[in-house]
Amino acid sequence: MSDTHEETIRFVRDSMLPQQEPPATSTGVIGWGRKNLFSTPLNAVVTVLSLALIYYVLSGILPWVFQSVWVADSLAECREIFLERWGSTEGHACWAVINERWLQLLFGFYPSELYWRPILAFILLLVAVAPVLFPWASNKLLVVTAVFPFVMPWLLWGGTIWTPLLVAAGFAFLYFGPKHGSEAVGSLAAVIISVVAALIWWMFIVGPLSGLLSGIVPIGLEPVDSRNFGGFMLSILIGVVAIGCSLPIGVVLALGRQSDLLIVKAICVGFIEFIRGVPLITLLFVASTLLNIFMPPGTNFDIILRVMIMVTLFASAYMAEVIRGGLAALPKGQYEGADSLGLDYWQAQRLVIMPQALKISIPGIVSTFIGVFKDTTLVSIIGLLDPIGLTNSIRADAAWNGIYWELFAFIALLFFIFCFSMSRYSMYLERRLKTDHR
């Protein structure tokens, strides 16, 4: 009987294999396409159909944009050039109307020799919002932020310098009144007295005193009537005022809706529900026509000012609901934590509650801002010459009668630039304020 010996041979590699390149089908454009576009038969079918749709759309848009005419004196001349170059008048754009009327689309009928004033106002706007929107901006620019609301209307409308100075002086009542009068009559009474004093100053004293001072020291700019305002300048003006004023008013309305004071809560709820239940175009008609019926005879209430007030009130009601959603999303522990620190109501709102509520509400706030800015085109229905209203004036010219798409495409591009910028900024702000690391 013989013994069977089994031997196990072990082999250990004493050198590494040379590194191999990954398969070409799993890297680069091919790998990305297989993973994201053709991962399943259904995805492959959807991808092919989507590419076919994109090709169909671009095949119509690109020739219309690039096979176009930029220099011509009329639509008829554009069509003659189309026939000469491409043998057809279909599928080509006549951008000559934009080349000729772009200044009118931007500034309306504002005097051309005074274009520097709205341009300067727009530059000051960018400087004024920089320290508010971006942390890298110098705090010294807050001086521009503070004076811009008074300089901007003076630059656009002109007139004496004393009017914006006296209007700014009225805010002294709102600042020093509650600060120094609360010890004598109480905080709430001091606020009410300060507001009443400021309103009396603005409504009854600023006008006569401004006329008196301008007669003594005539310093000012050439006046421009509101009927000359138009174009994209008018849309920016109404949009900036509505956006800038609706946020603080919306905060006050949101807090008032949650107030324990019955009268304050009822007023805020009634205002919000009434404004949100009425279309904006109805409010604009009220501002343009019906409001004059309730004004004293001979009162000259500027139409653009009336529209800005109505758009601001409309945006404030929606902003209040957005901010109320942010307040409702905060856990009750935040309120209890503010109370445990010994903070009063306004300190708790300013330091603890409102910063978190506004952070939560950023997407809704920016969406409201974008909607309000786009809704400024509704003013064309009440006769104001915003970019949409100006298209009718341009087409009324016999040279450009019958042109549509080029004008609307240019206006859409301008609105897209502003709305897309606001959307990108909201995403940047959300990333900057993000505190969790999930």
Average of per-residue pLDDT values in the chain: 86
Share of the chain above pLDDT 90, in %: 46
The string of DSSP letters for 299-364 reads ----HHHHHHHHHHHHHHHHHHHHHHHHHHHS-HHHHHHHHHTT--HHHHIIIIIHHHHHHHTHHH
How sure is the predictor about 184, in pLDDT bands with cuts at 50, 70 and 90? low
Beta bridge partners of residue 235, listed in sequence order: none
Residue-level pLDDT at 103: 93
Q: What is the pLDDT of residue 188?
A: 65
State yes or no: pLDDT of 8 exceeds 70. no
pLDDT at 180: 62
- C-alpha 268/C-alpha 257 separation (Å) is 5
Is the predicted pLDDT of residue 403 greater than 70, yes or no?
A: yes
Residue 298 sits at the vertex; the CA angle it makes with 284 and 225, to the nearest 5 degrees, is 60
pLDDT digits (tens, 9 = 90+) for 15-48: 777 777 777 667 777 888 888 888 888 988 999 9
Residue predicted with more confidence, 300 or 44:
44
Q: What is the mean pLDDT of residues 172-195?
A: 70
Span of 59-73, 217-231, 424-438 with lowest mean pLDDT:
424-438
Mapped onto helix, strand or coil, the DSSP state of residue 371 is helix
Q: What pLDDT is attached to residue 290?
A: 74
Does the pLDDT of residue 3 top 60, yes or no? Answer: no
Q: Nearest to residue 114, comparing CAs of 144, 147, 154, 148?
A: 154
Q: Give the contacts of 93 (CB within 8 A, at least 6 positions apart).
A: 64, 65, 67, 68, 69, 405, 406, 409
76-130 pLDDT, tens digit each: 999 999 999 888 888 889 999 999 999 999 999 999 999 999 999 999 999 999 9
Out of 67-71, 173-177, 243-247, 294-298, which region has the weakest mean confidence (pLDDT)? 294-298
What confidence score (pLDDT) does residue 9 get?
66
Q: What are 431's two structure tokens?
A: 């990333």
Specify the DSSP element, H or E, that contains 42: helix 41-66
Per-residue confidence (pLDDT) for residue 1, from 0 to 100: 47
300 to each of 7, 292, 303, 306, 380, how far by Cα in Å?
Answer: 111, 9, 9, 11, 21
**Residue 97: how many CA atoms within 13 Å on its side-chain side?**
29
Mean pLDDT of 330-350: 84
Residue 258 has pLDDT above 80, yes or no: yes
pLDDT at 322 (0 to 100): 94
pLDDT score recorded for residue 4: 53
CATH assignment of 96-110+224-433? 1.10.3720.10
pLDDT at 25: 67
pLDDT of residue 53: 95
- pLDDT for the residue 299: 64
> How confident is the model over 305-328, as a mean pLDDT?
92
Enumerate the domain spans of the chain: 26-66, 96-110+224-433, 159-221
Predicted TM-score of the model (pTM): 0.85
Q: What percent of the chain has pLDDT over 70?
A: 91
Calculate mean pLDDT across residues 397-422.
92
What pLDDT sits at residue 196?
85
